[in-house]
Structure 1
Amino acid sequence: MIRFEQVTKRYADGTTAVDGLSFEVAEGELVTLVGPSGCGKTTTMKMVNRLVEPTEGRILLDGEDISTMDPVRLRRRIGYVIQQVGLFPHRTILENTATVPALLGWKKARARARAAELLDLVGLDPAVYGDRYPEQLSGGQRQRVGVARALAADPPVLLMDEPFGAVDPVVRERLQNEFLKLQSQVRKTVLLVTHDLEEAVRLGDRIAVYGQGRIEQFATPATVLGAPATPYVADFVGADRSLKRLSVTAVDASALEEVPVARTGHAAPNAPWSVVLDADGRVEGWLSADEPDRTRPAPEPIPLGASLREALAALLQNDAGWLPVTDPADGGRYVGVLTPAGVHRALRAAASGETTLSSR
């Protein structure tokens, strides 16, 4: 969908912002550009909608050289979300969201209906928020409006420049999760600029790690964390990269342990402890050999495919030392038990290129 071919941006004072960039973003893929301030990642993104013109090379959008396109029409085909949001203070939230459809000549009723649909999609009831003004919303709510506005004309490409950087950490994580959920529904081709490695890892299908004007590594989050391509990348991702891999490594059946299973209403097996399942194969509790007639509450199950970060957090929140794991593809039926040893096995497998979170 987006292709850079030996793209360079050099300014009149001799500064080279980006130098010979070549990479491709597939349709429906979310790529994060991460690196220190001044490394060229924002310049890269702005060249896609021609807010910055490259000095050399070509950028193709769906196979077409963007330098041959009218810049205004090009920008109306590309959603753009910035940290400061940029909402018009004198226009209502509904009017702000309908901005691009209105510029494209949509009839007012159609533009407003689309705006209401998008506000609802990002979790803002248009009946409640549609007639409010930006100053009446929290920072996180304004950021959601910015995303809705960028999506209003259904553009194939979405550019996001530090979109969640202006809100506090708790709201930021919530917005990131909501955006991932939204992306799973709309599947836009996304370039997202961030200086935050944790955000890049959490959101990106692939990550472009920038040095000074160049991409040092372009790979999946698991690969960047597990096998840094250069000493620069290793230093950038940090010595704690094994811990960061928890966020991009999935709970997989190979990491689970089998324990004896008891069925509701049947005698307990001859074992120190066992998991109790109902007639549908769902977790009901667990039994101890000390009290085989008393079913105890089991820890809250986690699904296959959840991140090891979520699993480890759940393990630390209970005293059992294990978690039941269920299969959402099989109606939530029990498939095994995850222990701290299983978390360790899954991390080692991820370091070998196995068992990573699938594309979101």
Structure 2
Amino acid sequence: MDGTRGVAIRLERVGKTYADGTIAVQDLDLAVEPGELVALVGPSGCGKSTTLRMVNRLIEPTTGRIFLGDKDITQTDPVKARRDMGYVIQQVGLFPHQTVRRNTATVPRLLGWDKARTASRVDEMLLLVGLDPDTYGDRYPHELSGGQRQRVGVARALAADPPVLLMDEPFGAVDPIARDRLQAQFRDIQAELDKTVLFVTHDIDEAVRLADRIAVFSVGGRLEQFADPATVLGAPANEFVADFVGADRGLRRLAVTPIEPTDLEHPPTVRPDQPLAEARAAIEHAPEPYAVVVDAAGRLRGWVGLRETTGSGTVGDRLRRFDETADVGDTLRRALAEIVQHDAGWLPVVDGERYLGVLTPTSVHAALRRTVPQRYGATEGAGAH
């Protein structure tokens, strides 16, 4: 899908102090790359939503400058600045007496788009978020589920093709099943559209699942760490970040750590045309009582255990198919889930049809250990305080 790609967002020593002396954000330096999805996380009152609203000029910063691309938007008209930004909030904010089509068309109408262009764009955006315009276009918000209303909110924010998308707890008000679907769908949409996204959430699991990088804030708008999810979970910058992401951050790291060839173990391999006696000899000298069956081209065909290698015949006569495999690059979380679900001690990993090795609970643990360079301090950057 063609469209406007994301632009960089840069905050330079941005601060917000209210009239009563309350500091919401202080000296915030943050640089977001074009097309990047950055999640802002932290406890209540840490300034993450205030930061988003300053970018959108709903709140004026006390100090500092904010750039979209090379434009300092603190020096431009707020209404004009917002035309380059889509905004999605938890409460959605759909107009109750307007249809889905009319709601989605809000910004294009304000920008003076003609009816044909607006109608085409509305249909395109509704299809993008998984809502058939012929089915849902003429419905009203009260006729939709919470998840469907949230999808309309995303469609509306994207309708005028802004380079930047600001999202404040967008999926927080929907049920967990719908939330999982919305998260997965939004990540697919972002991969296709390549917008620059600032995403506020209180849920570290949501941030880990969606973000390219995570900015962890403490109270007073202090940026404690700004790094990719694996680094935030595996090498928190300090005790505050470690406490915030939780003692179970090792489990969360499963979701962001990919399977790499170096993580794999290599049991004996045999070919389907080999005699059972040869397979038995190979297995008897192996740590575990099985061998993986691959053909001459290295393609995975199944496995054979020690008990199946008695008697005469070939491996192909006795081999067993796998219930499941994993692809190199899949997450450790997905692989471990398959191992547990099938009550297996190992899971074969492939690259296309080519067999690479097997993953075991022991190798999953070793893979997690390689992502932890040290307890604290191995960070991409903790920001300016």
Q: Cα gap change, 1:99/1:4 in structure 2, threshold over 3 Å: closer, same or farther?
A: same
Q: Select which of 17, 20, 26 maps to 1:19.
A: 26
Q: 1:183 matched to which residue of 2?
A: 190
Q: Contact 2:235/2:373 (CA < 8 Å) preserved in 1?
A: no
Q: Provide the rounded CA distance (Å) in 2 between the counterparts of 1:38 and 1:163.
A: 18
> What amino acid is aligned across from residue 111 of structure 2 in structure 1?
L
Q: 2:244 matched to which residue of 1?
A: 236
> What amino acid is aligned across from residue 25 of structure 2 in structure 1?
V
Q: Contact 1:326/1:333 (CA < 8 Å) preserved in 2?
A: yes
| Aligned pairs (5 A) from 1:1-360 | 1-212=8-219, 213-267=221-275, 269=279, 270-271=282-283, 272-277=289-294, 281-292=298-309, 293-327=317-351, 331-352=352-373
Root mean square deviation of aligned Cα: 1.7
Q: Provide the rounded CA distance (Å) in 2 between the counterparts of 1:336 and 1:299.
A: 16
Please report how far the alpha carbon of residue 350 of structure 1 lies from its aligned counterpart in structure 2 after TM superposition: 1.0
Question: Per-residue CA shift, 1:96-149, capped at 9, x if unaligned?
Answer: 112211211111111111111111111112222122211111111111111111
Q: Secondary structure at the match of 1:248?
A: coil
Q: 1:358 matched to which residue of 2?
A: none
Question: Per-residue CA shift, 1:275-311, capped at 9, x if unaligned?
Answer: 2346765433221232243222313111111111111
Q: Provide the rounded CA distance (Å) in 2 between the counterparts of 1:336 and 1:133.
A: 53
Q: Contact 2:348/2:359 (CA < 8 Å) preserved in 1?
A: yes
Q: Provide the rounded CA distance (Å) in 2 between the counterparts of 1:48 and 1:79.
A: 11
Report the TM-score when normalising by structure 2: 0.87
Q: Contact 2:15/2:26 (CA < 8 Å) preserved in 1?
A: yes
Specify every segment of 5 or more residues in structure 2 that has no aligned partner in the other structure, as ranges: 1-7, 284-288, 310-316, 375-385
159-168 or 258-267, which moves further after superposition? Answer: 258-267
Q: Contact 2:13/2:64 (CA < 8 Å) preserved in 1?
A: yes
Report the TM-score when normalising by structure 1: 0.92
> What amino acid is aligned across from residue 225 of structure 1 in structure 2?
L
Q: Cα gap change, 1:279/1:129 in structure 2, threshold over 3 Å: closer, same or farther?
A: farther
Question: Per-residue CA shift, 1:144-167, capped at 9, x if unaligned?
Answer: 111111111111100000011001
Please report how far the alpha carbon of residue 73 of structure 1 lies from its aligned counterpart in structure 2 after TM superposition: 1.8
Please report how far the alpha carbon of residue 334 of structure 1 lies from its aligned counterpart in structure 2 after TM superposition: 2.4
Question: Per-residue CA shift, 1:59-89, capped at 9, x if unaligned?
Answer: 1110111022221121121011100111111
Q: Provide the rounded CA distance (Å) in 2 between the counterparts of 1:41 and 1:127.
A: 38
Q: Provide the rounded CA distance (Å) in 2 between the counterparts of 1:283 and 1:122.
A: 37
270-279 or 104-113, which moves further after superposition? Answer: 270-279
Q: Provide the rounded CA distance (Å) in 2 between the counterparts of 1:62 and 1:37.
A: 30
Q: Secondary structure at the match of 1:202?
A: helix
Q: Cα gap change, 1:94/1:280 in structure 2, threshold over 3 Å: closer, same or farther?
A: farther
Q: Provide the rounded CA distance (Å) in 2 between the counterparts of 1:289 and 1:282.
A: 21
Q: Provide the rounded CA distance (Å) in 2 between the counterparts of 1:251 and 1:10.
A: 46
Q: Provide the rounded CA distance (Å) in 2 between the counterparts of 1:127 and 1:264.
A: 53
Q: Secondary structure at the match of 2:318?
A: strand
Q: Provide the rounded CA distance (Å) in 2 between the counterparts of 1:281 and 1:154.
A: 47
Question: Per-residue CA shift, 1:210-238, capped at 9, x if unaligned?
Answer: 11121111111111111211221121112
Q: Which has the higher contact order (CA 8 A, sep 6+)?
A: 2
Q: 2:381 matched to which residue of 1?
A: none
337-346 or 65-74, which moves further after superposition? Answer: 65-74
Q: Provide the rounded CA distance (Å) in 1 between the counterparts of 2:268 and 2:154.
A: 49
Q: Contact 1:299/1:324 (CA < 8 Å) preserved in 2?
A: no
Q: Contact 1:299/1:320 (CA < 8 Å) preserved in 2?
A: no
Q: Cα gap change, 1:14/1:275 in structure 2, threshold over 3 Å: closer, same or farther?
A: same
Question: Per-residue CA shift, 1:194-218, capped at 9, x if unaligned?
Answer: 1111111111111111111211111
Specify every segment of 5 or more residues in structure 1 that has no aligned partner in the other structure, as ranges: 354-360
Q: Secondary structure at the match of 1:351?
A: coil
Please report how far the alpha carbon of residue 255 of structure 1 lies from its aligned counterpart in structure 2 after TM superposition: 0.6
Q: Provide the rounded CA distance (Å) in 1 between the counterparts of 2:110 and 2:308.
A: 71
Q: Provide the rounded CA distance (Å) in 2 between the counterparts of 1:314 and 1:337.
A: 13
Q: Provide the rounded CA distance (Å) in 2 between the counterparts of 1:163 and 1:279.
A: 51
Q: Secondary structure at the match of 1:258?
A: coil
Q: Provide the rounded CA distance (Å) in 2 between the counterparts of 1:180 and 1:280.
A: 36
Q: Contact 1:221/1:248 (CA < 8 Å) preserved in 2?
A: yes
Q: 1:356 matched to which residue of 2?
A: none
Q: Contact 1:118/1:148 (CA < 8 Å) preserved in 2?
A: yes
Q: Contact 1:274/1:287 (CA < 8 Å) preserved in 2?
A: yes
Q: Contact 1:299/1:323 (CA < 8 Å) preserved in 2?
A: no
